[in-house]
Amino acid sequence: MENSNQFLGTERIGKLMKQYAIPCIISLLVGALYNIVDQIFIANASYLGSYGNAANTVVFPLTVVALAVAVMIGDGCCAFVSISLGKHEADNAKRSVGNSVIMTVVSSLVLTAVYLIFADGIIGLFGGTVNEETFHHSKEYFFYISLGIPFYMFGQAMNPIIRADGNPKFAMVSTLAGAVVNIILDPIFIFLFKWGMMGAAVATVIGQMVTAVLAIWYLCRMKTIKPDKADYCLSRFICGRTLLLGVTSFLSQISLVAAMAAINNMLRKYGAADAIFGQEQYAQIPMAVVGIVMKFFQIVISIVVGMAAGCIPIVGYNMGAGQKGRVRELFTKLLIAEASIGAVALVLVEFFPGQLINIFGAANESVYYTDFAIKAFRTYLCMMIFACVNKACFIFLQAMGRAMASTALSMIREVVFGVGFALLLPVFFGLDGVLYSMPVSDLLTFLIAVFLICGTYKQLGSERNRHN
């Protein structure tokens, strides 16, 4: 197999970042739109409103579990393939792709079965019992979303593999096609057919099927990495190395699920003790609002992660080829870009929270809904710049092959701080404590990340050769 990725070691870094990061950003943004678009249409359907919004918030972490497994396989394979190509080890690259396909299919079917069998208990674990109406909508939405898990996971896992094959544009187009289908079908199913939560879920699943079919089509026509039948036989070494390189992506997503579970349950517990939200008709508002705030955060993080993940093939190839100066240059440009994205997002949440919440149907809700939403945007996301830099650091370390350092930092942020402060701060500050948990976590994580960033520069040396 001819290595056609040699340009990763010679082309200008800035040009490579645009070529790889922009399609990846669009792919992840489009992927994020699946759930966000559902929530926008649900929120603006008067017969669903904040109850449907709360149900969407309950189910969202469960889709992230599926995403966590998918990106662990896909990102791990992407990193492994890129490093292997840099070392001219084409056979390992092909075997990683074949093994990743099998791991994705098997894990998706297992997760679907678990979701369908234990649906009620899982929904309760993520706060779906805040009131009867929310539980009803959550159960309906979750059932149909679960049926689409195999398609969703396959599309998401193959996306970074397609990028590693040197075709980030097709990865973008395949995800975009599915999202467009979802956007078209959502209003038809929700407003015209009045299918409610089922309509939102079915539209999403059909879109995911489109993306999965396109991924299969490309898999049969890969240009740089062309797996043979034997490459689909599972190898302990190949699977182990692939999963190790992708474990940071998994932990960053799965630990987010743990944080969401903690946050949802704290919202339910301390919301019940609030003078306003303790009333039955308003009980779902805190969960619905925080879910919306997290969706905006997801949009920003999709850009941040997309930019960093798009650079994985560039980092992996140049590390494998021993070109540390180019990796250092890429790291500097990436950190500056990620901090800039965080700054723009911070301006939006601090100065335009009312406009943001109106997108999600605030006009149909009470004044309590709007007031809490504005407060949540300004408080929960006030450390956006640090959050963006932290995410970039996680992924860059992973791409360099420093899986342990990346995993440790990710676990500290999402589990130790994310879950810990979500459980601790409400004890002292009530419902506001839930909102304080995220900025405190991001600030403390950044202080740790600074040491790893300095260590990374030291590892890459003082070489400053530019390949312009």
Confidence (pLDDT) at 362: 62
DSSP percent split of the chain into helix, strand, coil, nearest 5 = 85, 0, 15
Locate 14 and state its tokens: 């800035």
DSSP collapsed to 3 states, 219-252: HCCCCCCCCCHHHHCCCHHHHHHHHHHHHHHHHH
List all residues 6 or more positions away from 298 whose beta carbon is below 8 Å from its beta carbon: 32, 35, 36
Locate 41 and state its tokens: 């249409």
Half-sphere exposure of residue 60: CA atoms within 13 angstroms, side-chain side: 31
- Kindly report the pTM of this predicted structure: 0.77
Q: What is the pLDDT of residues 139-152, one digit of tens each?
A: 999 999 999 999 99
Q: What Rg do the C-alpha atoms of the chain give, in angstroms?
A: 22
Residue 87: other Cβ atoms inside 10 A: 17
Burial (CB count within 10 angstroms: exposed 0-12, middle 13-18, buried 19+), residue 216? middle
| Rounded-to-integer distance, Cα 203 and Cα 69, Å | 23
Lowest-pLDDT choice from 130-144, 201-215, 317-331, 430-444: 317-331
| Rounded-to-integer distance, Cα 250 and Cα 64, Å | 10
Burial (CB count within 10 angstroms: exposed 0-12, middle 13-18, buried 19+), residue 129? middle
Q: Are 410 and 252 in contact (CB under 8 A)?
A: yes
Overall average pLDDT of the 458-467 stretch:
60
For residue 466, pLDDT over 60 is answered with no
Contacts for 356-364: CB closer than 8 Å, 24+ residues apart: 356/296, 357/289, 357/292, 359/40, 360/39, 360/40, 360/43, 360/44, 360/53, 360/292, 360/295, 361/40, 361/43, 361/44, 361/49, 361/50, 361/53, 364/43, 364/44, 364/46, 364/49
Q: Where in the chain are the domains? A: 8-460
Q: Are 321 and 6 in contact (CB under 8 A)?
A: no
Confidence (pLDDT) at 209: 97
| Rounded-to-integer distance, Cα 82 and Cα 166, Å | 10
Mean pLDDT over the full length of the chain: 87
Confidence (pLDDT) at 468: 40
The pLDDT-based confidence of 2 (bands split at 50, 70, 90) is: very low
| Rounded-to-integer distance, Cα 36 and Cα 281, Å | 24
Q: Sign of dihedral through CA atoms 248, 254, 255, 260?
A: positive
| Rounded-to-integer distance, Cα 219 and Cα 456, Å | 35
Q: Are 387 and 333 in contact (CB under 8 A)?
A: no
List all residues 6 or more positions away from 464 whose beta carbon is below 8 Å from its beta carbon: 325, 328, 329
Q: What is the pLDDT of residues 94-111, one digit of tens each?
A: 999 999 999 999 999 999
> Mean pLDDT: which of 317-321, 345-349, 412-416 is highest?
345-349
The pLDDT-based confidence of 446 (bands split at 50, 70, 90) is: very high
> Mean pLDDT: which of 62-76, 138-152, 245-259, 361-375 is highest?
138-152
Q: Sign of dihedral through CA atoms 426, 430, 431, 433?
A: negative
The DSSP code for 281 is G
DSSP collapsed to 3 states, 247-260: HHHHHHHHHHHHHH
For residue 437, pLDDT over 70 is answered with yes
For residue 467, pLDDT over 60 is answered with no
Q: What is the pLDDT of residues 284-339, one digit of tens each?
A: 889 889 988 988 888 898 889 888 888 888 887 888 778 888 888 888 899 999 99
